[in-house]
A and B are shown apart, each in its own frame.
Chain A
């Protein structure tokens, strides 16, 4: 069974640009969560989607947005990029929504903002 895939794996953008990251969950998984990982702030929750609806949102500015498609694939978008947005963006999928459902992480997309 294929794991969580994220594309692209690496991305370099300049300040002010926007970026879209993609996540394909494990087949059959319907919940997708996004996390930002930085050396300074660690792993922080961005948002979570289930059945194409955002169910939960972390403390990030509105420049960070996402969506989920009917096939459970998810995208996240960051507009007006800032230097501080440089991070590893991780996507995690789980079979169902709700506590105790193991979240499986993808390898991440490394975003560098110059």
Chain B
């Protein structure tokens, strides 16, 4: 019940195209859904995050779509650029009480390659 399933495992998109990565979860107690971007040799960096009270959040070229009833959320990268080539992880966490941090449960990652 703690799993977050992510697909696809890898993705090749042409420059200017739309990259779409999907995640699904089982635990309805999750209430925070961030996406992380990781470049080789670096730690993950927060890209965008959403809470289940909204269905969509957009920041620049990055959009999260959230479907609470289906327990699914996705990342859309518009006008994909070669610099977006990285591994993307979805994650989920739940509130665990005052004074406690949120444990992130990560998806398995999607390696995105944006070609010229």
Contact = CB atoms under 8 A, between A and B. Distances in A.
Contact of A45 (B36, B41, B49, B104): B104
Contacts, number: 82
B43 A108 contact: yes
Nearest to A102: B46
A56 B51 CA distance: 22
25 contacts: A4-B43, A33-B101, A33-B103, A33-B104, A42-B89, A42-B107, A43-B91, A43-B104, A43-B109, A44-B106, A50-B99, A56-B96, A56-B100, A56-B103, A58-B103, A92-B43, A94-B101, A98-B102, A99-B32, A100-B51, A102-B34, A102-B49, A104-B46, A105-B43, A106-B43
Interface of A: 4, 31, 33, 35, 42-45, 48, 50-51, 55-56, 58, 90, 92, 94, 96-108
B59 to A, nearest CB: 13
A3 B109 CA distance: 23
A42 B100 CA distance: 23
Nearest to B96: A56
Contacts of B108: 42
Q: Which of A42, A48, A56, A99 has the most CB of B within 10 A?
A: A99
A31 B101 contact: yes
